[in-house]
Structures are given as structure tokens and as C-alpha cells.
Amino acid sequence: MIATLGAVSTWPLAARSQQPAVRVVGFLSPRSPETAVQVNEAFRQGLREAGFVEGQNVAIEYRFAAGRFELLPALAADLVSRRVSVIAAPYPSGRAAKAATSTIPIIFIGGSDPVVMGLVASVNRPGGNVTGVSLLAADLETKRIGLLREIAPKTAIVGALMDLTDPSVYPETERSQRELQAGSRSLGVSIDFVTVGADRDLDTAFDALVRKRIDALVVAASTFFNNNRDRLVALSSRHRIPTIYELREFAVAGGLMTYAPSILDTYKQGGIYTGRVLKGEKPADMPVLLPTKFELVINLQAAKALGLDVPDKLLALADEVIE
């Protein structure tokens, strides 16, 4: 099962035997390989900035769970058995990596609150063998609702699509729900939650959203949603629901709008932190990095299809406008 799902390495074993100085990074991804091309390249860019080039002085052992979170513990154990020098663990893989080893350094990438997730003792003093790059930022959900009201000013009821498919993300989901409730109150709109459970039936979820007569939709962070972004964008379009997502990839796929810390910058910083560990730094002494770069991406074709006029003020704020 492990080999089938992603024991992918671009550094041949024979070549490794000729390069004994090569360090090996374990990369434990919850995504599928085809949805991870850009973020993985951003991670390698960070490694290069830290002085490590894949195929020269570092090898990367990739493991992809393809959205099947139940496989992460076995994939993490496999990397530990191979005695990699460090494990890079994009969200929500950090927990599986931490459970698998207390000695191999772990760099988590993404996720909201690493203390709530049990990854570190504190942001400033992680302790143990884990540190990383968090997406923790204040008032993100309030800002997303505000952006929806900018582009769809008649919005009175906002829907929120949440993912409850995996226990490891429940603390994050609960936090997101609290922030959405607080944000909606502060902006004077109602909010209705619809959750996707183990059946992962997106059609049923959207039927529920339509019944609630929502005016706009926030799609919460979720690896399952990331892996099914084309389907989500198609459903939002079919039901003519103005929707804001987390990652830029949704806007590229035809979604209306995204706002979040830059996921590519997050992966790049994860690569830099991984390189620093390879140079000898200890995760316990490396504070968790918080986001400094945020991205607003607007898809004008999606806006036109929904009959929305994007205000000039919003266009001026956008980091990227897809025409």
C-alpha cells in the first residue's frame, strides 16, 4: 500500500550509493502528486535558498496519502524506518509524523494553531523535535466574509462549508467555526454551516446550502477540498453562489475569489526551515514562523458568469486578477 500510494523519489538508489554525503528529506504529503506540483516546487525552492539542491546534495523521499488521511501514520512510519534526516510534513501530516518519532526533526507546513494541534509547546519555544510554518493569522475569516460582501453587497446569509472527514482536523474546524461566527456577527450577516462527513458527498452538501438560501459561501480549509477543487468550483458555478476559497489554486481553477496567507510562500519557508535543520539547527530552538504574505486573487471570468461587477477598490487591493 505504501509503495502504491507514493514512495516516489527522484534520486535513484544507485546514485545515492555513490554520494554518501547526500542528506535525505522525508516529505509526508496528504495530497496527491498531481495536486501538489506547485507547492512541492515552492518547497524545493526554499531548500535551494538554504543551499540544498535535489539530486545534488539532498534527496527527497516523497510519500503521498492522496487525501486518505488514515494512511499517514503508516507513511510516516515508513519514512522513520528509512532513517531520513528530517521530515517535512504539510498539514495535517504533522501529527502523524510526531507520533512516529520523537528524535527525527519534523518541519510542519501549514495549519492554523500548532499549539492546539499538539505539535509544539508554544509558538516562540516549540520544544521537542517539531517546529514549522503556520498559517495562524488573526481575523482571516472576518476578512473573507467582508470580501464577499464587497463583491456581492446584497449578501445577508453566508454559508460555510466545513470538512469533518478526519479527526486530525477537528480542532482547526472548531476554531474556524468560532471565527466565522464572530466575523459574521461583527459584519451584521447571518451564517449557516454545512459539513461534509465521511461520505464526502459534495452534491448533498450543496443541496443543503441551496435549501438554506445562502447568498454567498466561504469554503473552509481542507485537504479534501483542495484535492476536489475542480468539483467544488463547478458546483459553486452551477448553483450560482459567489464563493471565496482559501488557496489561489481555486481561483486558477475558475473559482471567484481566494484570500489567505500565500501557500507557496508557506511551502518555501518550510523548505528554508528544513535546510536550516539539515545544517544542524534544532527544532526546539526555532520559533514557529507565522505568515507575513497574504494573497487576494480574483477571477473576473467567474465574476462575469455570476453577474457580479467587481468594485475598482477591490481590484486595486487584489494581488492577482485572472482575466
pLDDT in tens, 153-188: 999 999 999 987 755 556 667 778 888 888 889 999
**Residue segments in the chain with a per-residue pLDDT below the cut of 70:** 1-21, 138, 166-172, 198-199
Q: Give CA–CA dist 27/60, Å, rounded.
A: 7
pLDDT given for residue 198 in this prediction:
64
Domains of the chain (ranges, CATH numbers): 2-136+263-293 (3.40.50.2300), 140-261+295-322 (3.40.50.2300)
> 9 vs 12, 46, 64, 83, CA distance in Å?
7, 18, 11, 15
pLDDT given for residue 315 in this prediction:
95
pLDDT given for residue 126 in this prediction:
96
| Burial environment of residue 285 by CB neighbours within 10 A (0 to 12, 13 to 18, 19 or more) | exposed
pLDDT in tens, 206-228: 999 999 999 999 998 887 888 88
Q: What pTM did the predictor assign?
A: 0.78
Neighbouring residues of 108: CB distance < 8 A, sequence distance ≥ 6: 89, 90, 91, 93, 94, 97, 114, 119, 130, 131, 132, 133, 134, 270
- Taking Cα atoms as reference points, which of 198, 1, 205, 6 lies closest to residue 93? 6
